[in-house]
Structure 1
Amino acid sequence: MKKYFEEKSLPVDVKKHYKGNKKLLSNVLDYLRDKYDFERIEDINFALFYSYIEIECATTIYVDDAGAAFQKVRCKIDKLPKTQSILSFIKELEKLERLELRRRKRLEKLMNLDFDSLELKEKKDVAYELSDSKDLTNKGVAARYFLKIYNETKDIHYFCNYASTLYKSGNKERAMEEYDEIIQLFKTEKYPDKGWVMGCIYADRMDYYKNDKKKFREIWDTAKADPYVREVPFAFPGYLGYVIEFTEISFNYGYFDICDELLDEIKNEKLPVPQNIKEHYGL
């Protein structure tokens, strides 16, 4: 979305926080929600900024959040004076709302089509589109489709997508079994993104065994010594994805020594720190 606000005119604390988190807008949104009541904001520039952050996060992190974000922003913006910037913002918002409506109708259609009759490229598009949804039923169907694509192509990439989507759909125990299968496949199969996949596997395993302290630490020790993971460049956004995930999981479940270790790496590489961790450590 275009920026209809002036950064220099934002509140000092918001401007500082935004400047330090442009690569991780979810941090900015967490800060805004914690410090400011959106409904009470009267400054047009600030309201446009807040609206921009809401929409950017909804449309880039989980598309299923977009509808609720649009409605929240619409209710606020409609109450503000109709300046040129507000009118331009509303015009773009209306386009996004129409796209969101079409997307939802398409998701409904994808859930009811004859998947097996599609061409391979169409099958891939459908599986990815459903997997982007937050809805667990959609993710479950996407996992099944990825497995079908793997069986058709024997491309290990789609088996990795299948296992990861299976975990996100809530079928975690089965996903753990499939992750074991991936690790065995990696011993004999060539695949260019083994480090990225292993990072995701370790993150999900840490989440799965969060209440088993011994197992959790065993997984972490294995993860940080994994040769595939160590080969992945420490740069945004590749390695950042699961380094941040390792950190958040460790923090959320009380493994603060592991979080400390990861946080040192994050700061050394000047990567964005999640908002809740920033506040806890006073960063």
Structure 2
Amino acid sequence: MKKPFDEKTLPLDVRKQYKENRKVPCNILAYLEEHYHDEQMENMQLALFFSYIEIECATTVYVDEVGEVLKKARARLERFSESPQVVSFLRELEKLERLEKRRRNRLDKLLTMDFDSLDLSEKKDVAYELSDSKNTECKALAAQYFLKLYQETKNLHYFCNYASTLYRSGQKREAMEAYERIVELFKTEAYPNKGWVMMTIHADRMDFFKEERLAFRKHWESAKTDPYLKQVTCEFPGYLGYLTSFAEVSLQYGFFDICDELVTLLKKNKLPIPPKVKAYYGG
């Protein structure tokens, strides 16, 4: 999508955010949501910018929120509907709305498809497409399809996908059991990406046990001493969303060594530091 706004006319603080976080639009969106509200948005360029950033995040990260985001953008820009600049942007929105409708229809079709009647290639496509959705119903079905693919092919890759997709579908306890099986299988079976899989397992275990102080610490230490993680190019916990939540939990439990490391990674990745953590570190 082309930039619909004139960058030079944006407020100075917003221009600074855009310059520093251009490649991380979710950071910009978090700033805008904290400092600006729709009812205060009399600046047309700011309204266009807000809508543009929100749509960028929705179409690249929060894909299941696209429809709602497009509605919000349209409502935000209604007061400026006489502007040619806004009219042009609304035309772009219409294209996105059509694409979103097709995507929704496609997901509805996948949810009712006769999976067992498909050939292997089609089964893979359906499982991955469903797993890409943030919708828990889609993910739960994708997990079952990955399990079927594993049973059909005996390819461990599909069992790993089954376990992680199961966790993201909300079936966390069942995923923990599947992770235990993967750890056992890794002792005897060759697999090219053990480091990435083990990083996911350790991170999900920390998330699962974040209400239990000692277990949370135990799984952090297990991850930091796991030789498989030395094969991975990125730093634990990998998933950026966990950086924020683990920083908050480690501060709450008084695990300041863990919190220090996570805050360093948050800064390195230009991610917002949670307010309580920021306050502890003095700003």
Q: TM-score of the superposition, structure 1-length normalised?
A: 0.89
Match of 1:249 among 220, 245, 253: 245
Note the 1:179-194 alignment, pairs <5 A. Answer: 179-194=179-194
Report SS of the residue matched to 1:79. Answer: helix
| 2:70/2:93 contact within 8 Å kept | yes
Q: Which residue of 1 aligns with 2:8?
A: 8
Change (3 A) 1:282 1:114: farther
| 2:266/2:273 contact within 8 Å kept | no
Note the 1:192-203 alignment, pairs <5 A. Answer: 192-203=192-203
**Which amino acid in 2 is paired with 1:250?**
F
Q: Which residue of 1 aligns with 2:123?
A: 123
| 2:172/2:208 contact within 8 Å kept | yes
Q: Which residue of 2 aligns with 1:68?
A: 68
Query: Aligned partners of 1:191 and 1:274: how far apart in 2?
Result: 35
| 1:136/1:170 contact within 8 Å kept | yes
Query: Aligned partners of 2:77 and 2:223: how far apart in 1?
Result: 46
Change (3 A) 1:263 1:65: same
Displacement of 1:68: 0.6
Displacement of 1:264: 2.4
Query: Aligned partners of 1:245 and 1:121: how far apart in 2?
Result: 32
Note the 1:26-175 alignment, pairs <5 A. Answer: 26-175=26-175
Q: Which residue of 1 aligns with 2:212?
A: 212
| 1:163/1:179 contact within 8 Å kept | yes
| 1:30/1:275 contact within 8 Å kept | no
| 1:247/1:259 contact within 8 Å kept | no
Change (3 A) 1:164 1:259: same
Displacement of 1:186: 2.1
Q: Which residue of 1 aligns with 2:270?
A: 272
C-alpha deviations, 1:226-264, integer Å up to 9, x for none?
A: 222222223xxxx58726344223223224521212222
Q: Which residue of 2 aligns with 1:260?
A: 260
Query: Aligned partners of 2:65 and 2:83: how far apart in 1?
Result: 27
Query: Aligned partners of 1:81 and 1:240: how far apart in 2?
Result: 47
The more displaced of 7-16 and 199-208 is 7-16
Q: TM-score of the superposition, structure 2-length normalised?
A: 0.89
Query: Aligned partners of 1:26 and 1:275: how far apart in 2?
Result: 13
The more displaced of 53-62 and 81-90 is 81-90
Q: What 5-or-longer segments of structure 2 have no aligned partner? A: none
Report SS of the residue matched to 2:264. Answer: helix
Change (3 A) 1:6 1:186: farther
Query: Aligned partners of 2:94 and 2:42: how far apart in 1?
Result: 22
Query: Aligned partners of 1:156 and 1:144: how far apart in 2?
Result: 14
**Which amino acid in 1 is paired with 2:245?**
I
Report SS of the residue matched to 1:214. Answer: helix
Query: Aligned partners of 1:154 and 1:31: how far apart in 2?
Result: 47
C-alpha deviations, 1:148-202, integer Å up to 9, x for none?
A: 1122222222111110111111111110011111122222333332222222111
Query: Aligned partners of 2:266 and 2:13: how far apart in 1?
Result: 23
Query: Aligned partners of 2:22 and 2:189: how far apart in 1?
Result: 38
Displacement of 1:133: 2.2
Change (3 A) 1:251 1:29: same
Change (3 A) 1:111 1:265: closer
**Which amino acid in 1 is paired with 2:13?**
D
The more displaced of 93-102 and 11-20 is 11-20
Query: Aligned partners of 1:133 and 1:145: how far apart in 2?
Result: 14
Query: Aligned partners of 1:155 and 1:132: how far apart in 2?
Result: 20
Query: Aligned partners of 1:265 and 1:275: how far apart in 2?
Result: 10
Equivalent residue pairs, number: 277
Q: What 5-or-longer segments of structure 1 have no aligned partner? A: none
Report SS of the residue matched to 1:102. Answer: helix
